Amino acid sequence: MVGRHVHAGCALSFAAAAGSNLRGHQVWVTICAGLPGALVCWAALDDPYGLTHHRAAVIAIPLALAGIAQVLRVRGRRQRKLDTLA
C-alpha cells in the first residue's frame, strides 16, 4: 500500500496546478505544476512497491522547476517594470 504522503503530495501538486491556472500563468507552466502529481500518483498506483514512482519523480520534478523558474523570471520583470514607472 502506498503511503498517504504520496497521495497528499499528488493532491498538493494538483492544487498548485489549479492555483497556477487561476493566477493566469501560461498553459505550459500550469501543466508543469501538475505533472509531478499526475505522474507520481499514476506510477504509485500502478506499481506501489517498485521504483516506478521514483523514476516518475526524477522525470517530472525538473519540469516543475522549469515552471517555477519561468514564474519567478516573469515576476521579476513585472517588478522592474513597476519600479521604472514610479
Q: Which grid coordinates belong to 33?
A: 505544476
**Residue 25, phi-psi category: left (phi > 0), alpha (psi -120 to 50), beta (remainder):** beta
Domain hosting 46: range is: 4-85
Indicate the number of domains in the chain. 1
pTM of structure:
0.70
pLDDT, one tens digit per residue, over 28-77 is 888 888 888 888 888 888 888 888 888 888 888 888 888 888 888 876 66
Residue 2 has pLDDT above 70, yes or no: no
Residue 62, Cα to own-chain centre: how many angstroms?
9
